[in-house]
Amino acid sequence: MKDNNFIIRGDLCWSEGITAFKTMRDAYLVCVDGKSAGTFPRVPEQYEKLPLINHSGSLVIPGLIDLHTHAPQFAFRGLGMDLELLEWLSTNAFPEEAKYSDPAYARKAYGAVVEHLKSGSNTRSVFFATLHVPATMILMDLLEESGMVSMVGKVNMDRNSPDTLREENAAASINATREWLEKCAAANYRNTKPILTPRFIPSCSNELMRGLCALQREFNLPVQSHLSENRGEIEWVRELCPSSESYGSAYNDFGLFGSEGSEPAAPTVMAHCVWSDEKEIELMARRGVFAAHCPQSNTNLASGIAPMRHILEAGVPAGLGSDVAGGTSSSIFRAMTDAIQVSKLRRALLGVKDKPLTMEEVFFLGTKGGGEFFAKSNMGQCGSFEQGYELDAIVLDDKALTCPLELSVRDRLERAIYICDSRNIEAKYIRGSELLLARSGLKFRPD
């Protein structure tokens, strides 16, 4: 479709806010120059000459957004799921990530990740890579070629890590990070952006954290890391940073925990927040730190259940993460269903009065909520069909989900979230361009 101008016809579902869920049956989504020009019950006169892509009878939703995943861990999904976090890292994650010192292995492994994601429902992702610059550039090249939109982090680790996966010292880590950023700038990516990535405080010395803060201010880059995932990890941080009030305060003391007032505006996203208390949550809200809720990983690694109702009511911006390979599924649909289920278990098992999350809330988190991190990182407004948003969309053929009931569009979406998988994806659009799905060879279809 020339200049990314066209119209999609289908049953539309999108969020305009966490309590503003919208549906339109047999309606029209207009794309002009790769962005949404709005949703309409009939085609407006000024758009009548645009090509019409007929997905009538199928669900059309914004592309799903994964705020936290580890690309090098994809290879061992489903392994070591009987371990808790710190043992799992030393047994599974660290030995696998050390293999990415070999660019040939990195190309093979990352190629499998990208091909898998191209056929799935996620359109944008925030990735941890490894500390290896050549391998990280391979991942970024492959993602750029795929047409998906992503942020990728070269990981920093200079202490409390295996010899095979530890940078020599803080200066070496900072120098490698600067080299990587220069390569990213030279590559002139359109869809792929670097994000600073201290793995977590236990693996980064004070000197390294201060150096990353200086880089963040120099390049105005977003930041990602892990926060309050596991009780043992929290105690470890308390020992390493005794002057900091909390895990989040330690990041804040190093200048890598969002911003407020006149401070640099690039955002921070923290994965997990399972054991964040009221003070830490308030600090996140005040400094605009995003929470990436990863319910499947938190269950698999016995970390606990994040207090998402408290996090949302406090005004913390939030989205969902797959956290592969702590999570075994890359689909944010799975993260949505798990988020609902664990919120109900939190209420039942802990005796708290938190209201469980609703379908509308987790759909917001997996679309516009996560999309707000991309917007604040200057990668375009996304995750909704509101006018001016970049047009990322997934078309779901749910007709095979036979049901004798007369279902609303909203009810069909709820079933799709729980039941649909990549086989139900009819088409996938990112920034107004269709990704050809290798498994089906789908192209734009006539009316």
pLDDT digit string (tens) for 100-156? 999 999 999 999 999 999 999 999 999 999 999 999 999 999 999 999 999 999 999
Q: Can you list the alpha helix ranges (DSSP code H) found in 77-224? A: 85-88, 94-98, 103-118, 133-146, 170-187, 206-219
CATH code: domain 2-62+385-434 is 2.30.40.10
pLDDT tens by residue, 52-108:
999 999 999 999 999 999 999 999 999 999 999 889 999 999 999 999 999 999 999
Provide φ and ψ at 18, rounded to 5°: -65, -25
* 320 neighbors 368 (Cβ within 8 angstroms): no
Provide φ and ψ at 366, rounded to 5°: -80, -5
Round to whole Å and give the CA distance between 433 and 428: 8
* 195 neighbors 224 (Cβ within 8 angstroms): yes
Q: How far apart are the first and last CA of the chain?
A: 14
Strands 425-430 and 393-396: antiparallel
Provide φ and ψ at 356, rounded to 5°: -60, 155
Helix (H) or strand (E) holding 126, with range, is: strand 122-128
265 pLDDT higher than 60: yes
Round to whole Å and give the CA distance between 419 and 397: 12
Q: Enumerate the domain spans of the chain.
A: 2-62+385-434, 64-376
pLDDT of amino acid 441: 40
Task: Tell me if residue 259 falls in helix, strand or coil.
Answer: coil
pLDDT tens by residue, 312-369:
999 999 999 999 999 999 999 999 999 999 999 998 988 888 999 999 999 999 999 9
Q: CA dihedral defined by 251, 100, 75, 181, rounded to 10 degrees?
A: 50
| CB within 8 Å of 316: residues ≥ 6 apart | 281, 284, 285, 289, 290, 291
Reported as a pLDDT band with limits 50, 70 and 90, residue 18 is very high
406 pLDDT higher than 70: yes
pLDDT of amino acid 261: 85
Question: pLDDT exceeding 90 applies to what percent of the chain?
Answer: 91
* 340 neighbors 357 (Cβ within 8 angstroms): yes
Helix (H) or strand (E) holding 309, with range, is: helix 308-313
> Whole-prediction pTM value?
0.96
Task: Tell me if residue 165 falls in helix, strand or coil.
Answer: helix
When computed from its CA atoms, the radius of gyration of the chain, rounded to whole angstroms, is 21
* DSSP characters over 338-372: HHHHHHHHHHHHH---PPPPPHHHHHHIIIIIHHH
429 pLDDT higher than 60: yes
* 39 neighbors 340 (Cβ within 8 angstroms): no
Mean pLDDT for the stretch of residues 269-298: 98
Class of domain 64-376 (CATH, top level): alpha beta
| CB within 8 Å of 399: residues ≥ 6 apart | 57, 58
